[in-house]
Amino acid sequence: MTTEPSSGAQILSRDMAFEILTNARRRYTLSYLRSQSGAVSIGELAEVVAAWENDTPVELVSSKERKSVYTSLYQTHLPKMADAGIIDYDRQRGNVRLNERANELDEYLYPASETSNWSVYYLGLALVGGFAVFCRILGMYPFTEIPVLVYAGLLLGSFVLLSAVNLELIRRDKNGRQ
C-alpha cells in the first residue's frame, strides 16, 4: 500500500514499510543490496542471506540452507519487495537490485539520525551558556556587566524554548505520518 503526496509521487506507507521490515530475510536482503553497486543474482543473494542467518561463512553454507533461502526469496520475499517498489526484480534473468525507493525505509531503520541534530543544538546551547556563566564568575569584562542570575535565567529560558520547539516538531512529525 502506498499513499500519494501532493507532488504526485507515490510514497511508501508506514504499514507497508513495517511489513517489509518485519521479516529478517527481507532486512538481510536490503542490507546486502545496499552494499552492492548493481544487480546481483538471486543465487548470490541466497548464499549471503543463508550465511547471515546461520552465522557462518558463505563457503560453509550447505546446499539445503541455500536452497531453502533461495526458494523463499524467489517465491515470497522478492516479489513482495518488488510490489512495494523497494527493489527491481527480474525473475527471468534471476537478478535483483535495490532502487531509490528503498531510501524511504531509512527513517524506520535509522530513526536516531532524525534526532541527532537536536543533540547538537542542546550541546551548543549548554556550551555557550556555560562559557558565559564561567566568564562572569571569573570576572571577565563585559560578562561582569550582567548579574550571574540573569545569565542563569537566560540559559534556563533558552533550554525551555528549545525543548518546546523540539517537542512541537516531534508532535507535528508524528501527526503527519499517521
What are the pLDDT digits (tens) for 33-78?
Answer: 988 888 999 999 999 999 999 999 999 999 999 999 999 999 999 9
Q: Residue 4: pLDDT above 50?
A: no
Nine-digit cell at 141? 569584562
Could you give the CA distance from residue 84 to residue 17 in angstroms, rounded to a whole number? Answer: 9
Could you give the CA distance from residue 108 to residue 29 in angstroms, rounded to a whole number? Answer: 16
Q: Which amino acid is at 19?
A: E
- In this prediction the pTM is 0.59
Q: Would you call 5 exposed, middle or buried from its count of C-beta atoms within 10 A (0-12, 13-18, 19+)?
A: exposed
**Ordered alpha helix ranges (H), the chain:** 14-22, 24-34, 42-53, 63-72, 78-83, 106-109, 112-138, 148-177
Nine-digit cell at 120? 547538537
The Cα-based distances of 49 to 17, 60, 69, 92 in angstroms read 20, 13, 7, 21
Q: Residue 30: pLDDT above 60?
A: yes
pLDDT (mean) for 5-13? 58
Residues 142-171: tens digit of each pLDDT: 888 888 788 888 889 999 999 998 888 877
Domain ranges of the chain: 2-107, 112-177
Residues 96-111: tens digit of each pLDDT: 998 888 888 877 777 6
pLDDT (mean) for 2-14? 56
pLDDT at res. 111: 63
Report the CATH fold assignment for 2-107.
Answer: Arc Repressor Mutant, subunit A (1.10.10)
Q: Residue 2: pLDDT above 50?
A: no
Q: If you ran DSSP here, which 8-state letter would residue 147 be given?
A: -
Using 50, 70 and 90 to split pLDDT, how confident is the model at 177?
low
